Chains A and B, each alone.
Chain A
Amino acid sequence: MAPAGLEARYRRMLRLFPVEYRQRHGDEMLGVLLAAAPAGNDRPGFAQTADLILSAARIRIRPRRALSDQAGWRDALAVFSFIAPVLMLLATCLSYAVEDLLAHAAGNGGLDIGLGRLSTWSFGIVHPFIGTILFIIITGQGATAVLALLGLRRCAALAAAVTVAYFLAEDFVYAPSAPILVPEAASLMFQFVAPAAVIVALLASPGPRHGRRLMRPAHWAMAGAVLLPLAAYHFATYGGGGIKQAFYASRVLLAIAPAALLLMIAAAWLASAAGKRFAVLLAFLGYPLLQALVYRCVPSSVAGTVPFELGLQVAAVLLPAVLVYRVRRATRRADNGEGTGTA
């Protein structure tokens, strides 16, 4: 029987390991450490101590390993498929609500519902409530969110495809006549990156119903952290011209994105491994926002260069590509019965 003091010391040292690792291996490791301890020792030896400290450090700085757990990715995608469509919808509504408030404050009623840049299909000045409803119906955002909430993942994916199709049509019809205030990346995110990520999540995961069951407080906190900058950038992309210009020129955008980023990091730090994977997926929604910040921070002589623009756009394509690759690999391995079935 090992001395109680030795066991207590080993237990303290095992706290150096991440909690999930400890839950999986803690008891076993303690048994092995005590079995391997020389008789009569009541303190861990130097070599054993060094090995535990170095191993714990290696495990902690090895996030990619934890992120490769296929079942965890499927669960994180399920959570994403539940919350992302709702976030996009809320961001749209919040953005238009703010615009309405500002318009009333400036003495102008109504919302110029130009449906984004598709001015040729403009409905003209309508009541803000009706304008917002029109926007979310025509772009498919509302249907995607409602169908995802109902757990109808294939129908929700189809509705998200409508969003992509709508904005593609818009890009073909629209001829730019005014300087673009917000980097293209921000609108790219609303039009293509986010709906595409939602489609992948809906089709490759067990679906939003499963995701809803997995929601934890840290997930809600991260989703809340993303909502504010999402709404801000939706406003900056689609808001009325004069207001948008003033808003984009203000320092509000510069303050919102880093604040949201800090919140995300804090929530992800506290979250489980599955929660951290969810944070990575949510970062897709935040990526163009960070791009917009980059545009604001780098000199205009650099921002306009081909390598800079190309780098940002390649990154925008590469990130979803890596996600798709991981999802396909995860699904394939899970189909072969190699997954653990839990996050």
Chain B
Amino acid sequence: MTILYVLVPLAIGIVLIAVAGFVWATHRGQFDDLETPALRMLRDEPANRPPPEIGKRPGTEAD
């Protein structure tokens, strides 16, 4: 059972990595808004959508 003297610190090391990952994700704002990403659904975008036609772009012309 002396293997425990290696395995337990190893397990704690893995936990440390997981915690570090969680802290990193939190600071990146991954948990700030849990509602919108669900709505930002995985929709297939048309692969090569034509760029918007020049001169017809709305919002840019003066009112």
Are A and B interaction partners? no
